Amino acid sequence: MSGIFNSSVGRKFAMALSAFFLMIFLVQHFAINILSVFSADVFNNVSHFMGTNWVVQYIAQPILIFGVLFHFVMGFVLEIKNKKARSIAYAKNNGSANSTWMSRNMIYTGGVIFLFLGLHFYDFWFPEINVKFINGDMSGLLPSGDYRYYEHLHHKFVDGWRVAIYCLAFVFLSLHLLHGFSSAFQSVGANNKYTRGLKGFGKAYAILIPAGFIFIALYLHFN
């Protein structure tokens, strides 16, 4: 296993696998959050199920956190490992003319997303951990008898400054995905007759998923 991480190809392959995992999670996360636009009750019920299901809480959630940390740490490792080689290649071949802005700035877009995750954890994950595991309240209920999930979500998007931060973060996520999606497939050797279709799908994913999250934030703010 250590040999895999000692080679550039191995590190990129591991990075790609973690990227696929996180992209699948983004779709699942979006699918749940978009429910808040259509029905507060449905969103509450699904959120309560996800928040109290032991498979999600004790297996899927730790794997997800590990996947997030692994992806960002591996990204920084790859950037450090490749910095000298990349700078020499750019000097010889005018790399800025042969690569996109997104590919040259993945470390910066990723850094912004990582900082945003700190705010997102502060807004949602830490309060959940406090309520469920510190206070021991797994009911998910408000004093009124309603589930608290929709009210908590809606309350977080009252302030315009927080909405602006979320929207800006999702713009950076889109920029990150525009290169990251195709790069991940390339790292696992998926260069074949389907490459053109994958690139088209990747661009659609990189635009539509972040745009969907922006729509949710704006909808909750103005409604």
d(C-alpha 31, C-alpha 109), whole Å: 24
Radius of gyration of the chain, Cα coordinates, nearest whole angstrom: 20
Tokens for 73, please give them: 């740490």
Instruction: Quote the pLDDT of residue 5.
Output: 61
Q: What is the pLDDT of residue 96?
A: 56
Q: Are 28 and 60 in contact (CB under 8 A)?
A: no
Taking the model in full, what pTM does it have? Answer: 0.88
Q: What is the pLDDT of residue 194?
A: 60
Give, for 88, the enclosing helix (H) or strand (E). helix 61-93
What does DSSP assign to residue 53?
A: -
Dist CA 23 CA 210 (whole Å): 11
What is the reported pLDDT for 100?
81
Q: What is the pLDDT of residue 183?
A: 85
**What domains sit in the chain, N to C, each tagged with a CATH number?**
2-222 (1.20.1300)
Grouping H, G, I as helix, E, B as strand and the rest as coil, residue 158 is coil
The answer to whether the beta carbons of residues 188 and 160 sit under 8 Å apart is no
Query: What is the full per-residue pLDDT of the chain (223 aa) written as tens digits?
Result: 555 566 778 888 899 999 999 999 999 999 999 999 999 999 999 999 999 999 999 999 999 999 999 999 998 888 887 776 655 555 555 555 557 888 888 889 999 999 999 999 999 999 999 999 999 999 999 998 999 999 999 999 999 999 999 999 999 999 999 988 888 888 777 666 567 788 889 999 999 999 999 999 999 999 9
pLDDT at 85: 63
DSSP string, 96-113: HHHS-HHHHTHHHHHHHH
